[in-house]
Amino acid sequence: MEQEKYNTGKRKWKHLSEKERYKIEALSRQGLTPGEIGAALAPKRDRRTIEREIKQGRVELRDSLWREKNVYCADVGQRKHEEKAANKGRGYKIGYDHKLVQYIENKIKDEKYSPDAVIGEIKAKGVSFQVTICTKTLYNYIDAGLFLNISNKDLPVKKDGKKRKYRQTRKVALNNTKGRSIEERPPEVENREEYGHWEMDCVVGSGKACLLVLTERMSRQELLFKIPAKTQECVVDVIDRLEKRYKTSFNKIFKSFTMDNGGEFLNMHSIERSCRKPGTKRTTCYYAHPYSSWERGSNENQNKLIRRFVPKGSNIGKLSNKDITRIENWINNYPRKIFGYKSANQMAA
């Protein structure tokens, strides 16, 4: 049997208005009790509401015979209400939008997104919630501890707002005097005007095994390969396997490689020569200036994304091919601010 009378509905209420306070003052001076005053207001107010209001706005006055008496003053009650309201501060804009809170927590905690990537993807995909917030507001909420399941510990390293000063310490690497300098790169490579120019680096861990990282300069597309050691032979082996996989398309997809002067990359001849057509050249190598990692900025930024899954000191040898593929797919589908929050895969398509 369905219950017809119940009182479990959400209660609607609002603060007393200034007009109601003046009515309370007038009725109080007529000698009405708090219950009678509450019943006389429209809408009706509870007796306890009137009692609290009279207590808050009570003042001491003296009559012509200098006798003290306590009376309710609407002006005093309104002033104290405004003071308390000002001290309360502005409420959080996110309010009771639990779906937005859950979405943000899932993206940051489980999918390892940055706050900016979360907000950017919401706007780019047109995902609709009750409220909208900006990146700065989301950072402020996390700083204030508003979220139950995420904190600053779950975020990538925050920038301090200071721009790094870039300068070259030396133009020639003493261990790589025969390498082709980055200064010889043509404008289309330098300006990211065409697809097919890659930056190459290694991400190391606690063991001998490491990750060979390839980052395409125009789209920021990423390729990851686990190699048993940080050696020239392992690097050349990966490039050979890529050429065998892509065959005649290799020299269109991998037009050039820009690397640092690490020992594993110094065999320029073996990286450039074709393993399918002996005696021919398959790509072109360029070497950054010593101690100038900023010249391979895309590479370095991608390495930071990899470190969200492979912290420093991790044993990369224990990573399975499935793990590496998962990291690679995550990076290539991560929304990028520089592309209007499109992913590298979208830019490379």
d(CA 58, CA 35): 17
The predicted structure's pLDDT at residue 166? 60
Whose CA is closest to 333, among 163, 113, 138, 186? 113
Structure tokens at 294: 């900023």
**Confidence bin at 162 (pLDDT 50/70/90):** low
Domains and CATH numbers, the chain: 18-88 (no CATH), 98-154 (no CATH), 182-348 (3.30.420.10)
The beta-strand segments (E) located in 11-164 are: 58-62, 68-72
Centre a 10 Å sphere on the Cβ of residue 116 and count the other Cβ atoms it contains: 17
The predicted structure's pLDDT at residue 1? 44
Whether the predicted pLDDT of 7 surpasses 70: no
b/e 34-62 (16+ beta carbons within 10 angstroms → b): beebbebbeeebeeebbeebbebbeeeee
Instruction: Name which residue leads in pLDDT, 151 or 2.
Output: 151
d(CA 266, CA 259): 9
- The three-state secondary structure class of 36 is helix
C-beta of residue 168 within 8 angstroms of C-beta of residue 289: yes
Whether the predicted pLDDT of 321 surpasses 90: yes
- The three-state secondary structure class of 210 is strand
Q: What Å distances lie between residue 143 and 27, 41, 89, 154, CA to CA?
A: 49, 44, 17, 12
Instruction: Kindly report, residue by residue over 65-94, the tens digit of the pLDDT.
Output: 788 888 899 999 999 888 887 776 667 778
Amino acid in position 40: A
d(CA 307, CA 158): 14
What average pLDDT does the segment 137-157 reach? 89
The predicted structure's pLDDT at residue 261? 94
Structure tokens at 290: 């010593």
d(CA 101, CA 264): 46
Structure tokens at 286: 């360029």
Phi and psi based region of residue 15 (left: phi greater than 0; alpha: psi -120 to 50; beta: remaining): beta
- Burial-class residue 32 by CB neighbours within 10 Å (0-12, 13-18, 19+): middle
Which letter does DSSP use for residue 345 in this model? Answer: H
Instruction: Kindly report, residue by residue over 210-250, the tens digit of the pLDDT.
Output: 999 999 999 999 999 999 999 999 999 999 999 999 999 99
Strands 197-204 and 256-259: parallel
Predicted TM-score of the model (pTM): 0.72
